[in-house]
């Protein structure tokens, strides 16, 4: 996949902290940010997929879990 550049503006202290974190991990700030965005995108995709599946399963479910008895049936003597 082709890569493109983006420009972001951050406070100086955030940039300084990011440089330290990137150095600790042996990577660049750019790679660090790119990895975080990839993970964010992946997590969002997984959430949306799970949401669609849950909504589909709820739509297909029988009302009241398929229960066919009434309150009166439970308390019959």
Please check whether residue 71 lies inside any domain of the structure: no
| Token output for 9 | 């503006």
Q: Report yes or no on 8 lying in a domain.
A: no
Could you report the per-residue pLDDT of 20-77, keeping only the tens digit for each? 999 999 999 999 999 999 999 999 999 999 999 999 999 998 887 777 888 888 887 6
Residue at 12 is within a domain: no
* Degrees to nearest 5, angle at CA 47 with 59 and 9: 145
The whole-number pLDDT of residue 28 equals: 97
CA distances from 17 to 14, 27, 28, 37 (A): 5, 14, 12, 18
Print the domain residue range for 29. 17-62
Three-state secondary structure call for residue 2: coil
| Any domain includes 1 | no
For the chain, what is the domain count? 1
Tokens of 37: 């965005």
pTM of the entire predicted model: 0.70
């Amino acid at each position: 996949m082709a890569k493109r550049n983006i420009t972001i503006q951050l406070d100086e202290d955030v940039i300084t902290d990011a440089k330290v974190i990137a150095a600790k991990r042996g990577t660049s700030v750019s790679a660090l940010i790119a990895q975080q965005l990839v993970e964010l995108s992946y997590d969002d995709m997984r959430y949306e997929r799970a949401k669609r599946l849950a909504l589909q399963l709820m739509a297909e479910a029988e009302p009241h879990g398929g229960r066919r008895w009434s309150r009166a049936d439970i308390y019959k003597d």
